[in-house]
Structure 1
Amino acid sequence: MTETKLNYIGPIPKLLTFERDRPAWWRRIPVAAILVIALPTLLAAIYYLLIASPRYVSETQFIVRAAGQSTPSTIGVALQGIGIAPTQTDAFAVHEYITSRDALRELSRRYDLPAILGPRGADAFSRYPRPWEDRSNEGLHEGFQRFVTVGYDSTTGISTLRVEAFRARDAQALTESLLSGGEQLINRMNERSSADAVAQAQQAREEARARLAGAQQQLTAFRNREQIIDPQLVARESSQLIGGLQAQVAGLRAERAQVAAEAPNSPQLPTFDSRIRAYEQQIEIERSRMAGTSSSLAPMISVYEDLALARELADRELTQATAAVITAEQEARRQKLYLDRVVSPSLPDEPAQPKRWLAVLTVLASSLLAYGIGWLIWAGVREHRQD
């Protein structure tokens, strides 16, 4: 008789299959991924989507140019594209002023900046001051930089100013004030440049005018002292007089010679001789007046020529200095800078900042990138240890 065999038909016990329970999906996520990716993205989403206060952005565009500056050519645009801009860097002075403490000081005189930049209801991380900032002038300047952005397009030479605020009117008012401050800066630069350029030319003109006046005074004193207006004119008159006397002497000598030839004992001969001697004495007197003594005209003419030459040189110098002043004024007007508004400060009708979803996606992408880099580094280190 055979023995009865019993076969078990049913599920195999788990202990005999050596299978383990699979953990839940959230337990299979690495802790590092939670800390590096999930947590920052969650915090960013909570802040930007629920907490961050909306901010209005007012924008304006302007250009700083010289009076004679024309539109750049194709080559000029190409050179500006590689950083070679001839005159458009003047706009950078306005940029520096907009973000400077001087501009902040002017705004503080007009507006209550702490109340504008930190109104009630604004979140702690957007307003001024933030939890780690203090309410000092330095802290206000550092905090103000977060609300102001100024940029420059080297191709067109146009500058763009953007100002953020928690109210649209405040953003527009601050933008208008900063732009007005930039215009005043350009005006001050023009005044100083024009004053420096013209002042030197005007000083040279005044010096030339003083030298001309001094030369004229010396010439007038000489004329009063010598009682002669123009010694050269007197010398010319004396020369003409001597020439006339010499002509008379020559005529008398000719007449005497004729009379002596016809009548050697003529009683007219002594008369001719006395007249000739008188004329010759007068000629000697006139010659002595012209030269030969210290009181003659020759030394006077020398002094007069020096004084007249000095006056003429001073007059030429004054003419050149006056022309230099006119040229300096024209050059100053030609180099005068202007701040032209391309776009007036806008009044925003809806908040433009923060860009909430873009900010959350940026945090997510940055976290993924950081996690990926960290994972690659850790995998390389672990592989190196196994080798």
Structure 2
Amino acid sequence: MTESKLNYIGPIPKLLAFERERPAWWRRVPLAAVLVVGLPTMLAMIYYLLIASPRYVSETQFIVRATGQSAPTSLGVALQGVGISPTQTDAFAVHEYITSRDSLIELSRRYEIAEILGPRGVDAFSRYPQPWEGRSREALYKGFQRFVTVGYDSTTGISTLRVEAFRPRDSQALTEALLGGGERLVNRMNERSAADTLAQARQSREEARARLSAAQQQLTSFRNREQFIDPTLAAKEGSELIGDLQIEVARLRADRAQIAGEAPNSPQLPVFDGRIGAYERQIASEREKIAGDAGSLAPMISAYEDLVLNREFADKELTQATAAVISAEQEVRRQKLYLDRVVSPSLPDEPTEPRRWLAILTVFASSLLTYGIGWLIYAGVREHRQD
């Protein structure tokens, strides 16, 4: 029978197990993670914590509205979501002007914009011009856009203007100047709209007034030429005279018939016959004056009535044109735009930009996401090759 011998019971010595020492944690970090995540984050921390210059932000809020315009309803807000924008066009026009080249040109007449956006002592990546930018007008305009932001709240209709600068007074002054430029734009829009709306109505009124004046002059010339104020009235008076003469003739005939019946040889009968003949000749003469040859009143009455009718039409047209001008003026006042300041431009007492830790965190998260996506792509490619 063989007996086994146990010489040692216990842990195996490290020298016999050949156990390797684990490297330090920083050596276990992949080089790609250091380059993609660590390096950008470190650079961001160096820039935002040590180099980035503080910027002061002045903010103002305003609303562009028409007279009597109410706040947008819930239905209006819902319609905006499907692309139907009922009343924001004017506000957006002010937004575009504030960030336009025309606005920059107007500011340049009052301020040294290049000096405000790039004072001495400011870091090269925040100021204007940046190292890769020139000093042309186009470069100044692009730099200007980095410092000006305009937003719009569709639920309230309020616009917000934010201007950044490296000095508090500069940011407030630029905000005030830009808001003033927006107000002048609204005033110009009002003047242009009023001019376009009233021009045609006033032109129609002047044309109607000219036609009425011409018709009145034609009527006056007719009266001077024919020496009649109103031929119609003269014809009426002539007709009344003829009626009176006919009544007198009828009375005379009745008297003559009575005398002739009582005394056929009465010497009064020739007298009655003479008077009746005179009246009848007068009636015929008056009738020729009213309607007869070319010198009678009938052609004059026709021409006079045409002139009077033209004058009445011109007078009615002038009345309608005047009413149209009054209506257009009321419409202009009703549609007049106003830029109301909800909040005046503020004077910042401390810098709010850049948001240093938020920017660093953003760089870190973006780098980490980039590294994660890259690692997944690399792992997939490697697994595909092994297969």
TM-score interval w.r.t. the shorter chain?
over 0.9
Q: Bigger shift: 342-351 or 194-203?
A: 194-203
Partner of 1:33: 33
Residue 311 of structure 2: aligned partner:
311
Residue equivalent to 1:48: 48
Deviations 1:76-125 (A, max 9, x none): 44444655442233111110111001110111111111111101110000
How big is each residue's C-alpha offset from its partner over 1:321-342, in whole Å with a ceiling of 9 and x where there is no partner? 1111111111101100000000
Structure 1 residue 72: Cα displacement? 3.4
> Cα distance, 1:278 vs. partner?
1.1
| Partners of 2:384 and 2:279 in 1: CA distance | 133
1:369 paired with 2:382, answer no
Q: Is the 8 A contact 1:83 1:154 kept in 2?
A: no
Superposed CA offset, 1:148-173 (max 9, x none)? 00000000000000000000010000
Instruction: Give, in whole Å, the separation in 1 of the partners of 2:12 and 2:251.
Output: 172
Q: Secondary structure at the match of 2:164?
A: strand
Match of 1:337 in 2: 337
CA contact (8 A) 1:79 1:85 kept: yes
Matched with 2:164 is 164
Counterpart contact for 2:72–2:157, Cα < 8 Å: no
Letter in 2 for 1:181: G
Q: What's the CA shift string for 1:284-311, capped at 9, x where partnerless?
A: 1111111121111111000000000000
TM-score by length of 1: 0.94
Shift of 1:27: 2.4
Q: Output the CA distance in 2 between the equivalents of 1:339 and 1:217.
A: 50
Contact preservation (8 Å) 2:72, 2:155 = no
RMSD, aligned α-carbons: 1.9
Maintained 8 Å contact 1:85/1:154? no
The residue aligned with 2:292 is 292
Count the aligned residue pairs.
381
3-state DSSP of counterpart to 1:360: helix
Q: Is the 8 A contact 2:71 2:157 kept in 1?
A: no
Answer with 267-276 or 202-211: which moved more.
267-276
Amino acid at match of 1:272: F
Give the equivalent residue in structure 2 for 1:222.
222
| Structure 2 unmatched runs, 5+ | none
Contact 1:81 1:154 in 2 (8 A): no
2:205–2:322 contact (8 Å) kept in structure 1: yes
SS in 2 for 1:339: strand
Contact 1:81 1:155 in 2 (8 A): no
Residue identity opposite 1:188 in structure 2: R
8 Å contact kept, 1:51–1:123: yes
Aligned twin of 1:347: 347
Output the CA distance in 2 between the equivalents of 1:178 and 1:36: 42
Deviation at residue 260 of structure 1 after TM alignment: 1.6
Corresponding position of 1:154? 154
SS at match of 2:146: coil
- 1:206 aligns to what? 206
Tell me how far apart the structure 2 counterparts of residues 11 and 155 of structure 1 sit (CA, whole Å).
76
Q: Percent identity?
A: 77
User: Structure 2 matches for 1:1-387, cutoff 5 A?
Assistant: 17=17, 19-20=19-20, 22-80=22-80, 83-387=83-387
State the alpha-carbon separation in 2 of the partners of residues 101 and 234 from structure 1: 75
Matching residue's letter, 1:339: L
Give the TM-score normalised by structure 2. 0.94
Matches of 2:12 and 2:18 in 1, distance apart?
Answer: 14
Give the aligned residue type for 2:93.
Answer: A
Letter of the 2:26 partner, please give it.
W
Q: CA deviation at 1:17?
A: 4.5
CA distance in 2, matches of 1:72, 1:155: 7
- SS for the counterpart of 1:145 is helix
Residue by residue over 1:2-45, the C-alpha shift from the partner in whole angstroms, topping out at 9 and shown as x without a partner, is xxx9x89997685x655555443322221211111011101111
Give per-residue Cα distances to partners, 1:213-238, cap 9 Å, x unaligned. Answer: 00000000000000000000001000
Residue ranges of structure 1 left out of the alignment (5+ in a row)? none
Partner secondary structure for residue 159 of structure 1: strand
State the 1:212 CA deviation.
0.3
C-alpha distance in 1 between matches for 2:191 and 2:12 = 100
Partners of 2:125 and 2:302 lie apart in 1 by 90
Looking at structure 1, the residues matched to 74 and 8 of structure 2 have their Cα atoms a distance apart, in angstroms, of 94
Report the secondary structure of 2:281's partner residue.
helix
Distance in 2 between the 1:307 and 1:363 partners?
Answer: 88
